[in-house]
Amino acid sequence: MSRESISTFDIFKIGVGPSSSHTLGPWRAGRLFLRDFYSPDVERVQVDLYGSLAKTGRGHGTDIAVQLGLMDWDPKTCPVDEINPTIASLKSDRVMLLAGKHHISFNPETDIVFHMDETLPFHPNGIKYTFWLKNSEVRSRTYYSVGGGFVVTEDEELGENRCVLLPYPIQHAADIVRYAELKELTIPDMVRANERCWRPKEETDAGLDEIWATMRECIYRGCHSEGVLPGGLNVTRRAKKLNADLMSGRSYKGFDQWVENMRYSSPNFQQTLRWISIFALAVNEENAAFGRVVTAPTNGAAGVIPAVMMYGHTFLGFTHEQLREFILVASEIGCLFKKGATISAAMGGCMAEIGVSSAMAAAGHAYMLGCDTARILMAAEIAMEHHLGLTCDPVGGLVQVPCIERNTMGAMKAITAANIALASDPTLAKISLDDVIVTMWETALDMNSRYKETSEGGLALRIPVIVPEC
């Protein structure tokens, strides 16, 4: 089990789709490599992709991500509308502005090498960057994208930021229960106290607000964008049409009026269910189109938590401060899965993505419904219990089918789990959250590699599709 100290802002990262492990992780690795090894004397660069990064890298945009990383683009702030033109120009001209500082020759077709039949022993998502300098010096380092945008090296010791001595160190759900009983703390109380070891309260609140604002903007953008998703599978975006159908011609301008229209229409149960699905679809259609999303805790599962939060905000009246607390609760559940199991689909299949995000959303929603700590943890357990064994089998290596629709399922299960926990007696539960985390990890270890983001099994084999290079 990992003993690292993980912040809310490690679990929730603002970045670009379509995959946290295959896009955001390699992107961040490229920028790390620049930080440690860049020199104006670099003449040539090569990127080697191994394991799952090679097998589904083109569909996941790994090749695009490494180029953007080597140009030192920031996934949090870069202009997403300029990604495709920039990559197209680089492919045509075969010239890269390395680190945003000097031009070198770069041919994506030969300088990015996909090792389809080789997996490095440390982790399925391996990537090696190499620089050749004018004086014949070679600088190289191998990184591993271990899920959720986290990047490590095989022999890396935890950085200073991740070895912080926290007032409430939490390795197991049982630790949360103990602090709640002995200190009379809520989960947000614990998380806020821990976050103060990294930054002042005001900065944490600003970061939480930025996360929710990015989620909100992503939902709105996704509900007003149409067309066919990139990658060659020709998946048509649906959120805009579904939104228009439920709006029934009502006009609005901007997010706030849009929300007021939803509330004013007094949707029935069926319509509310459709709205939740639309919210999730919107986010993951944006994610598939290289839009800006919040890794929560991964990009492939980025729509679950925003959909549940948007449901609570729109139809249950969750306040601004409550949404902050939702994120804090959800992040701590994500930390438990990160430490005790995995949030990498290449290690644990889709239960590590949709399953974990659903558990996180269930806990956050349960807190909003007024559940005590025991019921919050129960909600997370219920949500994961019904995702155990879920495979990751993206058709064509794209984060589209079945990934986008799975976010709607994860959101629905989260809301259901929270409501079951609200009406239940946790003392009668047979399985704890710690039990289900251990079981999830054991299931991940037993799972055949064909069902771990390789596109070599499951639904990925049902559609014979040739996906062109990005």
Reported as a single tens digit per residue, the pLDDT across 46-83 is: 999 999 999 999 989 999 999 999 999 999 999 999 99
Where is average pLDDT lowest: 43-52, 150-159, 238-247, 378-387?
A: 150-159
- Model confidence pTM above 0.95: no
Quick check: 44 pLDDT over 50?
A: yes
Instruction: Give the DSSP letter of residue 12.
Output: S
Quick check: 205 pLDDT over 50?
A: yes
Residues 191 and 147 in one domain: no
Average pLDDT over residues 307-316: 97
Indicate the residue among 106, 130, 161 that finishes a domain: 161
Give CA torsion, residues 109, 67, 344, 386, to 10 deg. -90
Residues 224 and 140 in one domain: no
Where is average pLDDT lowest: 29-38, 95-104, 156-165, 293-302?
A: 156-165
What Å distances lie between residue 124 and 104, 237, 245, 255, CA to CA?
30, 31, 43, 40
Looking at residue 159, its pLDDT comes to 45
Residue 310's contacts (CB-CB under 8 Å, 6 or more residues apart) are 215, 216, 219, 276, 279
Residues 411 and 299 in one domain: yes
Residues 140 and 246 in one domain: no
Looking at residue 465, its pLDDT comes to 57
Dist. CA 62–CA 132, nearest whole Å: 22
Looking at residue 162, its pLDDT comes to 59
pLDDT single digits (tens) 176-201: 999 999 999 999 999 999 999 999 99
pLDDT band at 357; cut points 50, 70, 90 = very high
Average pLDDT over residues 215-243: 97
DSSP string, 344-388: -HHHHGGGGTHHHHHHHHHHHHHHHTT--HHHHHHHHHHHHHTTT
Neighbouring-strand partners of residue 129: 47, 141
DSSP-derived 3-state class of residue 190: helix
pLDDT band at 266; cut points 50, 70, 90 = confident
Quick check: 3 pLDDT over 80?
A: no
Residues 313 and 208 in one domain: yes
Other beta carbons less than 10 A from residue 457's beta carbon: 15
Quick check: 161 pLDDT over 80?
A: no
Dist. CA 437–CA 356, nearest whole Å: 10
CA-wise closest residue to 444 among 346, 354, 359, 304: 346
pLDDT single digits (tens) 216-226: 999 999 999 99
Residues 115 and 184 in one domain: no
Looking at residue 463, its pLDDT comes to 81
Residues 168 and 198 in one domain: yes
Looking at residue 470, its pLDDT comes to 39
* Residue 115, domain member (yes or no): yes
Where is average pLDDT lowest: 1-15, 330-344, 387-401?
A: 1-15
Residues 362 and 236 in one domain: yes
Dist. CA 350–CA 406, nearest whole Å: 9
The tokens for 389 are 């064994």
Residues 352 and 221 in one domain: yes
CATH number at residue 135: 3.30.1330.90
Residues 142 and 187 in one domain: no
Looking at residue 182, its pLDDT comes to 95
Looking at residue 154, its pLDDT comes to 81
Phi and psi for 147 in degrees, rounded to 5? 110, 145
Dist. CA 418–CA 6, nearest whole Å: 25
Indicate the residue among 110, 135, 161 that finishes a domain: 161
* Residue 469, domain member (yes or no): no
Indicate the residue among 161, 194, 222 that finishes a domain: 161
Residues 192 and 132 in one domain: no
Residue 271's contacts (CB-CB under 8 Å, 6 or more residues apart) are 246, 265
* Residue 6, domain member (yes or no): no
Question: What sign for the dihedral angle of Cα 37, 71, 296, 331?
Answer: positive
CA-wise closest residue to 286 among 271, 303, 273: 303
* Residue 8, domain member (yes or no): no
Between 154 and 302, where is the model more confident?
A: 302
Looking at residue 469, its pLDDT comes to 45
* Residue 174, domain member (yes or no): yes
Contact, 444 vs 349, CB < 8 A? yes
CA-wise closest residue to 301 among 381, 363, 355, 237: 355
Where is average pLDDT lowest: 20-34, 73-87, 200-214, 454-468?
A: 454-468
Average pLDDT over residues 134-138: 96
Q: Which domain holds residue 31?
A: 20-161
Dist. CA 150–CA 24, nearest whole Å: 9
Residues 127 and 261 in one domain: no
CA-wise closest residue to 365 among 336, 326, 337: 326
Average pLDDT over residues 39-48: 97
* Residue 365, domain member (yes or no): yes
Looking at residue 334, its pLDDT comes to 98
Domain count, the chain: 2
pLDDT single digits (tens) 291-310: 999 999 999 999 999 999 99
Classify residue 270 by burial, with Cβ atoms within 10 Å: 0-12, 13-18, 19+: exposed
pLDDT single digits (tens) 245-260: 999 999 999 999 999 9
* Residue 67, domain member (yes or no): yes
* Residue 361, domain member (yes or no): yes
